[in-house]
Amino acid sequence: MSRISNAIRDRYRYAGIVLRGLVKTDFKLRYQGSFLGVAWSVLQPLMMFCVMYLVFGKFLRMSDGTSTYPVVLLLGISSWQFVTDSTNVGLRSVVDRGDLLRKIHFPNYIVVVSATVGALISYGINLLVVLVFALVSRVHFTWRVLLLPVNIVQLYVVTLGLTLIMATMYVYFRDIAHIWDVLQQLIFYAMPIIYPLSFVTARGGILATLARMELLNPIAQSIQDIRHNFIAPDTQPTVWNQFGHWQVQLFPVVLTLLLLWFGVWVFRRNSRRFAEVMC
Protein backbone atom coordinates (compact mmCIF):
# COMPACT_ATOMS: atom_id res chain seq x y z
CA MET A 1 0.00 0.00 0.00
CA SER A 2 2.82 2.38 0.90
CA ARG A 3 4.55 1.52 -2.39
CA ILE A 4 1.46 2.55 -4.34
CA SER A 5 1.05 5.78 -2.37
CA ASN A 6 4.73 6.61 -2.88
CA ALA A 7 4.40 5.99 -6.63
CA ILE A 8 1.36 8.27 -6.82
CA ARG A 9 3.09 10.95 -4.77
CA ASP A 10 6.24 10.78 -6.92
CA ARG A 11 4.21 10.99 -10.11
CA TYR A 12 2.26 14.06 -9.09
CA ARG A 13 5.32 15.60 -7.48
CA TYR A 14 7.04 15.49 -10.85
CA ALA A 15 3.92 16.90 -12.53
CA GLY A 16 3.87 19.71 -9.95
CA ILE A 17 7.50 20.59 -10.63
CA VAL A 18 6.84 20.72 -14.39
CA LEU A 19 3.70 22.80 -13.82
CA ARG A 20 5.56 25.38 -11.71
CA GLY A 21 8.31 25.62 -14.31
CA LEU A 22 5.86 26.12 -17.18
CA VAL A 23 3.82 28.70 -15.27
CA LYS A 24 6.95 30.75 -14.51
CA THR A 25 8.14 30.50 -18.11
CA ASP A 26 4.74 31.40 -19.61
CA PHE A 27 4.30 34.33 -17.25
CA LYS A 28 7.73 35.74 -18.15
CA LEU A 29 7.28 35.21 -21.89
CA ARG A 30 3.83 36.81 -21.86
CA TYR A 31 5.31 40.23 -21.06
CA GLN A 32 8.79 39.76 -22.52
CA GLY A 33 9.91 42.82 -24.46
CA SER A 34 7.15 44.95 -22.97
CA PHE A 35 8.17 48.19 -21.27
CA LEU A 36 5.43 47.97 -18.63
CA GLY A 37 5.69 44.20 -18.23
CA VAL A 38 3.33 42.63 -15.69
CA ALA A 39 1.54 45.97 -15.28
CA TRP A 40 -0.32 45.17 -18.51
CA SER A 41 -2.26 42.45 -16.66
CA VAL A 42 -3.86 45.30 -14.70
CA LEU A 43 -3.83 48.06 -17.31
CA GLN A 44 -5.66 46.05 -19.98
CA PRO A 45 -8.88 45.46 -18.00
CA LEU A 46 -8.62 48.98 -16.53
CA MET A 47 -8.52 50.58 -19.99
CA MET A 48 -11.39 48.37 -21.13
CA PHE A 49 -13.32 49.37 -18.01
CA CYS A 50 -12.84 53.08 -18.77
CA VAL A 51 -14.15 52.67 -22.31
CA MET A 52 -17.13 50.52 -21.31
CA TYR A 53 -18.06 52.77 -18.38
CA LEU A 54 -18.02 55.89 -20.56
CA VAL A 55 -20.04 54.24 -23.35
CA PHE A 56 -22.55 52.16 -21.39
CA GLY A 57 -22.58 53.87 -18.01
CA LYS A 58 -22.44 57.53 -19.02
CA PHE A 59 -23.48 57.77 -22.67
CA LEU A 60 -26.11 55.00 -22.91
CA ARG A 61 -26.95 55.23 -19.18
CA MET A 62 -27.12 51.44 -18.79
CA SER A 63 -26.45 51.49 -15.06
CA ASP A 64 -28.18 50.09 -12.00
CA GLY A 65 -28.04 53.56 -10.46
CA THR A 66 -25.92 52.51 -7.47
CA SER A 67 -22.59 53.88 -6.31
CA THR A 68 -21.06 50.40 -6.56
CA TYR A 69 -21.80 50.03 -10.29
CA PRO A 70 -18.30 51.13 -11.47
CA VAL A 71 -16.63 48.59 -9.15
CA VAL A 72 -19.09 45.88 -10.20
CA LEU A 73 -18.32 46.66 -13.85
CA LEU A 74 -14.55 46.49 -13.25
CA LEU A 75 -14.94 43.17 -11.43
CA GLY A 76 -17.00 41.72 -14.26
CA ILE A 77 -14.49 42.81 -16.91
CA SER A 78 -11.57 41.43 -14.87
CA SER A 79 -13.38 38.10 -14.43
CA TRP A 80 -14.14 37.83 -18.14
CA GLN A 81 -10.53 38.79 -18.91
CA PHE A 82 -9.45 35.71 -16.95
CA VAL A 83 -11.69 33.50 -19.10
CA THR A 84 -10.39 34.94 -22.37
CA ASP A 85 -6.74 34.87 -21.28
CA SER A 86 -7.05 31.23 -20.24
CA THR A 87 -8.80 30.06 -23.39
CA ASN A 88 -6.82 32.12 -25.91
CA VAL A 89 -3.48 30.88 -24.57
CA GLY A 90 -4.68 27.46 -23.48
CA LEU A 91 -6.22 26.37 -26.76
CA ARG A 92 -2.83 26.81 -28.49
CA SER A 93 -0.78 25.37 -25.62
CA VAL A 94 -0.51 21.78 -26.90
CA VAL A 95 0.56 22.86 -30.38
CA ASP A 96 2.90 25.57 -29.10
CA ARG A 97 4.53 23.09 -26.71
CA GLY A 98 4.64 20.29 -29.29
CA ASP A 99 8.45 20.06 -29.36
CA LEU A 100 8.59 19.94 -25.57
CA LEU A 101 5.94 17.21 -25.40
CA ARG A 102 7.89 15.05 -27.87
CA LYS A 103 11.22 15.47 -26.06
CA ILE A 104 10.20 15.26 -22.38
CA HIS A 105 7.77 12.76 -20.90
CA PHE A 106 5.18 14.39 -18.66
CA PRO A 107 1.35 14.50 -18.64
CA ASN A 108 0.11 16.50 -21.63
CA TYR A 109 -2.61 18.22 -19.62
CA ILE A 110 0.08 20.13 -17.70
CA VAL A 111 0.59 22.56 -20.61
CA VAL A 112 -3.12 23.45 -20.61
CA VAL A 113 -3.30 23.78 -16.83
CA SER A 114 -0.19 26.01 -16.84
CA ALA A 115 -1.93 28.42 -19.24
CA THR A 116 -4.98 28.66 -16.99
CA VAL A 117 -2.90 29.00 -13.81
CA GLY A 118 -0.91 31.85 -15.40
CA ALA A 119 -4.17 33.63 -16.21
CA LEU A 120 -5.36 32.92 -12.66
CA ILE A 121 -2.30 34.72 -11.26
CA SER A 122 -3.11 37.78 -13.36
CA TYR A 123 -6.72 37.53 -12.19
CA GLY A 124 -5.56 37.53 -8.58
CA ILE A 125 -3.61 40.74 -9.22
CA ASN A 126 -6.71 42.29 -10.77
CA LEU A 127 -8.81 41.31 -7.76
CA LEU A 128 -6.41 43.24 -5.54
CA VAL A 129 -6.96 46.28 -7.77
CA VAL A 130 -10.73 45.78 -7.52
CA LEU A 131 -10.35 45.61 -3.73
CA VAL A 132 -8.56 48.97 -3.73
CA PHE A 133 -11.37 50.51 -5.84
CA ALA A 134 -13.94 48.97 -3.51
CA LEU A 135 -12.25 50.45 -0.44
CA VAL A 136 -12.06 53.87 -2.09
CA SER A 137 -15.75 53.59 -3.04
CA ARG A 138 -16.56 52.62 0.57
CA VAL A 139 -18.15 49.32 -0.35
CA HIS A 140 -19.81 47.66 2.63
CA PHE A 141 -18.44 44.11 2.80
CA THR A 142 -20.60 41.34 4.27
CA TRP A 143 -19.97 37.79 5.45
CA ARG A 144 -20.67 36.64 1.88
CA VAL A 145 -17.13 37.63 0.93
CA LEU A 146 -16.12 34.33 2.57
CA LEU A 147 -17.87 32.55 -0.33
CA LEU A 148 -15.64 34.29 -2.88
CA PRO A 149 -13.03 31.47 -3.08
CA VAL A 150 -15.81 28.99 -3.92
CA ASN A 151 -17.06 31.24 -6.73
CA ILE A 152 -13.55 31.70 -8.13
CA VAL A 153 -12.95 27.95 -8.04
CA GLN A 154 -16.15 27.40 -10.02
CA LEU A 155 -15.12 30.00 -12.60
CA TYR A 156 -11.71 28.32 -12.88
CA VAL A 157 -13.24 24.84 -13.24
CA VAL A 158 -15.62 25.82 -16.03
CA THR A 159 -12.82 27.71 -17.79
CA LEU A 160 -10.44 24.75 -17.50
CA GLY A 161 -13.04 22.36 -18.90
CA LEU A 162 -13.71 24.67 -21.85
CA THR A 163 -9.97 25.17 -22.47
CA LEU A 164 -9.26 21.42 -22.45
CA ILE A 165 -11.93 20.88 -25.10
CA MET A 166 -10.66 23.69 -27.33
CA ALA A 167 -7.00 22.68 -26.89
CA THR A 168 -7.90 19.20 -28.13
CA MET A 169 -9.87 20.56 -31.09
CA TYR A 170 -7.05 22.97 -32.02
CA VAL A 171 -4.64 20.08 -32.55
CA TYR A 172 -6.88 18.83 -35.36
CA PHE A 173 -8.61 22.02 -36.51
CA ARG A 174 -6.69 25.30 -36.40
CA ASP A 175 -9.88 27.12 -37.41
CA ILE A 176 -11.15 26.76 -33.84
CA ALA A 177 -9.01 29.75 -32.81
CA HIS A 178 -10.74 32.04 -35.32
CA ILE A 179 -14.17 30.65 -34.44
CA TRP A 180 -13.50 31.26 -30.74
CA ASP A 181 -12.41 34.85 -31.45
CA VAL A 182 -15.88 35.51 -32.86
CA LEU A 183 -17.78 33.50 -30.26
CA GLN A 184 -16.13 35.16 -27.29
CA GLN A 185 -17.20 38.57 -28.58
CA LEU A 186 -20.79 37.36 -28.91
CA ILE A 187 -20.70 35.79 -25.43
CA PHE A 188 -19.20 38.92 -23.90
CA TYR A 189 -21.96 41.21 -25.16
CA ALA A 190 -24.70 38.64 -24.52
CA MET A 191 -23.81 38.08 -20.86
CA PRO A 192 -24.54 40.70 -18.19
CA ILE A 193 -20.95 41.91 -17.87
CA ILE A 194 -20.98 45.43 -19.27
CA TYR A 195 -24.67 46.00 -18.57
CA PRO A 196 -26.42 45.27 -15.25
CA LEU A 197 -28.82 42.34 -15.37
CA SER A 198 -31.32 44.35 -13.32
CA PHE A 199 -31.44 46.88 -16.18
CA VAL A 200 -33.16 44.21 -18.30
CA THR A 201 -35.15 42.32 -15.66
CA ALA A 202 -36.77 45.55 -14.46
CA ARG A 203 -38.45 45.93 -17.85
CA GLY A 204 -40.45 42.72 -17.40
CA GLY A 205 -41.89 40.53 -20.14
CA ILE A 206 -40.02 38.09 -22.34
CA LEU A 207 -36.77 40.09 -22.15
CA ALA A 208 -36.70 39.73 -18.37
CA THR A 209 -37.25 35.98 -18.66
CA LEU A 210 -34.46 35.64 -21.23
CA ALA A 211 -32.16 37.75 -19.06
CA ARG A 212 -32.72 35.48 -16.08
CA MET A 213 -32.07 32.46 -18.28
CA GLU A 214 -28.56 33.82 -18.86
CA LEU A 215 -27.78 32.90 -15.26
CA LEU A 216 -28.01 29.23 -16.25
CA ASN A 217 -24.77 29.79 -18.16
CA PRO A 218 -22.12 28.72 -15.61
CA ILE A 219 -19.71 31.49 -16.69
CA ALA A 220 -22.35 34.20 -16.24
CA GLN A 221 -23.58 32.57 -13.03
CA SER A 222 -20.14 32.39 -11.42
CA ILE A 223 -19.26 35.97 -12.42
CA GLN A 224 -22.56 37.22 -10.99
CA ASP A 225 -21.93 35.25 -7.80
CA ILE A 226 -18.47 36.83 -7.52
CA ARG A 227 -19.99 40.30 -7.91
CA HIS A 228 -22.80 39.52 -5.47
CA ASN A 229 -20.61 38.11 -2.71
CA PHE A 230 -17.67 40.48 -3.12
CA ILE A 231 -19.21 43.88 -3.86
CA ALA A 232 -22.99 44.22 -3.99
CA PRO A 233 -25.16 41.51 -2.39
CA ASP A 234 -28.17 43.84 -2.34
CA THR A 235 -28.21 44.76 -6.03
CA GLN A 236 -26.71 41.87 -8.01
CA PRO A 237 -29.18 39.24 -9.28
CA THR A 238 -27.94 35.66 -9.08
CA VAL A 239 -29.36 32.26 -9.91
CA TRP A 240 -29.92 31.79 -6.17
CA ASN A 241 -32.28 34.77 -5.80
CA GLN A 242 -33.88 34.73 -9.25
CA PHE A 243 -35.13 31.13 -9.24
CA GLY A 244 -37.10 29.47 -6.47
CA HIS A 245 -36.46 25.82 -7.33
CA TRP A 246 -33.22 24.23 -6.14
CA GLN A 247 -33.08 22.05 -9.27
CA VAL A 248 -32.78 25.20 -11.39
CA GLN A 249 -30.36 26.84 -8.97
CA LEU A 250 -28.00 23.86 -9.11
CA PHE A 251 -28.20 23.52 -12.91
CA PRO A 252 -25.15 25.74 -13.70
CA VAL A 253 -23.12 24.02 -10.96
CA VAL A 254 -23.92 20.58 -12.38
CA LEU A 255 -23.16 21.89 -15.88
CA THR A 256 -19.78 23.13 -14.61
CA LEU A 257 -18.85 19.67 -13.32
CA LEU A 258 -20.08 18.00 -16.51
CA LEU A 259 -18.05 20.40 -18.63
CA LEU A 260 -14.90 19.64 -16.64
CA TRP A 261 -15.52 15.89 -16.86
CA PHE A 262 -16.16 16.09 -20.60
CA GLY A 263 -13.06 18.25 -21.13
CA VAL A 264 -10.84 15.80 -19.22
CA TRP A 265 -12.38 12.83 -21.05
CA VAL A 266 -11.93 14.36 -24.51
CA PHE A 267 -8.36 15.46 -23.76
CA ARG A 268 -7.26 12.13 -22.30
CA ARG A 269 -8.86 10.19 -25.13
CA ASN A 270 -6.93 12.14 -27.77
CA SER A 271 -3.72 13.06 -25.94
CA ARG A 272 -1.83 9.93 -26.99
CA ARG A 273 -2.21 10.89 -30.65
CA PHE A 274 -1.15 14.53 -30.26
CA ALA A 275 2.49 13.90 -31.12
CA GLU A 276 1.51 11.82 -34.17
CA VAL A 277 -0.94 14.43 -35.48
CA MET A 278 1.47 17.36 -34.98
CA CYS A 279 4.38 15.66 -36.77
Within-domain flag for 255: yes
Letter for the amino acid at 18?
V
Query: Which pLDDT value is given to residue 55?
Result: 67
Separation between Cα atoms, residue 212 and residue 215, nearest integer Å: 6
Instruction: Give the model's confidence band at 56: pLDDT under 50 very low, under 70 low, under 90 confident, else very high.
Output: low
User: pLDDT tens-digit profile of 120-147?
Assistant: 988 988 898 888 888 888 888 889 999 9
Within-domain flag for 77: yes
Rg value, the chain, Cα: 20
Domains in the chain, number: 1
Separation between Cα atoms, residue 163 and residue 267, nearest integer Å: 10
- How is 80-100 classified by DSSP, letter by letter? HHHHHHHHHHHTTHHHHTHHH
Within-domain flag for 5: no
Separation between Cα atoms, residue 80 and residue 83, nearest integer Å: 5
Within-domain flag for 254: yes
Within-domain flag for 6: no
Within-domain flag for 125: yes
Within-domain flag for 223: yes
Q: Is the pTM of this model over 0.85?
A: yes
Within-domain flag for 7: no
Query: Which pLDDT value is given to residue 2?
Result: 59
Q: Which domain holds residue 87?
A: 15-278
Separation between Cα atoms, residue 255 and residue 31, nearest integer Å: 34
